[in-house]
Amino acid sequence: MKGENNKPDIILIGGGGHCLSVIDVVEQEDKYNIKGILDDTKEGDVLGYPILGNRDLVKELSTEGVFFLITVGQIKSSFVREDIALLLESCKARLATVVSPFAYVSKYATIGEGTVIMHNAIINAKAKVGKHCIINTKANIEHNVQIGDFCHISTCATVNGDTVVGKGTFIGSNATISNGITIAEQSIINAGDFIKK
The binding site consists of: 73, 152
Could you list the residues known to form a binding site for acetyl-CoA, using ranges: 152
Could you list the residues known to form a binding site for substrate, using ranges: 73
Residue 23: which of 41, 49, 2, 4 has the closest Cα? 49
Cα atoms in the Cβ-side hemisphere of radius 13 Å centred on 38: 20
CA distances (Å), 58 to each of 26, 50, 55, 126, 153, in order? 20, 15, 5, 34, 27
Distance of CA 114 to the CA centre of its chain: 6
Name the catalytic one among 18, 119, 132, 143. Answer: 143
CA–CA separation, 179 and 167 (whole Å): 18
Q: Is 143 a catalytic residue?
A: yes
CA–CA separation, 105 and 123 (whole Å): 5
**Residue positions annotated with a catalytic role:** 143
